[in-house]
Amino acid sequence: MTMSQTEETGRFRELRYSFHLLLSNPVSTVGAVGVAFLFTVMILAPILATHDPIAINLTGRFLPPSGEHFFGTDHLGRDIYSRVVWGARISLSVGFITLIEATVIGTIIGLIAGYKGGWVDSVIMRITDVFLAFPSIILALAVAAALGRGLTSVMVALGITWWPLYARLIRGQTLSVREEQYIEGARLSGAGGLRIMLKHILPNCIAALIVQISMDVGFTILAAASMGFLGIGAQNPSPEWGLQCASGAKYLVYQWWISTFPGLAIFLSVISFNLLGDGLRDILDPRLRRG
Give the whole-angstrom CA distance, residue 269 versus residue 274. 9
**288 neighbors 278 (Cβ within 8 angstroms):** no
Domains of the chain from N-terminus onward: 25-54+67-288 (1.10.3720.10)
Give the whole-angstrom CA distance, residue 229 versus residue 240. 9
Amino acid identity of residue 118, one-letter, is G
Give the whole-angstrom CA distance, residue 262 versus residue 251. 14
pLDDT, position 21: 64
pLDDT, position 102: 93
CB-based contacts of 27: which residues, under 8 Å, 6+ apart? 275, 278, 279
**60 neighbors 73 (Cβ within 8 angstroms):** yes
**225 neighbors 266 (Cβ within 8 angstroms):** yes
Judged by DSSP in three states, 253 sits in: coil
Cβ neighbourhood burial of 182 (10 Å; 0-12, 13-18, 19+): exposed
Residues of the chain with pLDDT under 70: 1-23, 284-291
Q: Is the peptide bond before 237 cis (omega within 30 degrees of 0)?
A: yes
Q: What Cα–Cα distance (Å) separates residue 281 from each residue in 29, 39, 156, 172, 204?
A: 13, 21, 28, 17, 14
Q: What is the pLDDT of residues 274-288, one digit of tens each?
A: 988 887 877 766 544
pLDDT, position 22: 64
pLDDT, position 215: 85
Phi-psi region of 150 (alpha: psi -120 to 50; beta: other; left: phi over 0): left
pLDDT, position 233: 82
pLDDT, position 20: 64
Q: What is the pLDDT of residues 181-209, one digit of tens each?
A: 878 787 778 778 788 888 888 888 888 88
Neighbours of 276 (CB within 10 A): 26
pLDDT, position 65: 95
pLDDT, position 18: 59
Give the whole-angstrom CA distance, residue 173 versus residue 208. 8
Give the whole-angstrom CA distance, residue 248 versus residue 260. 9
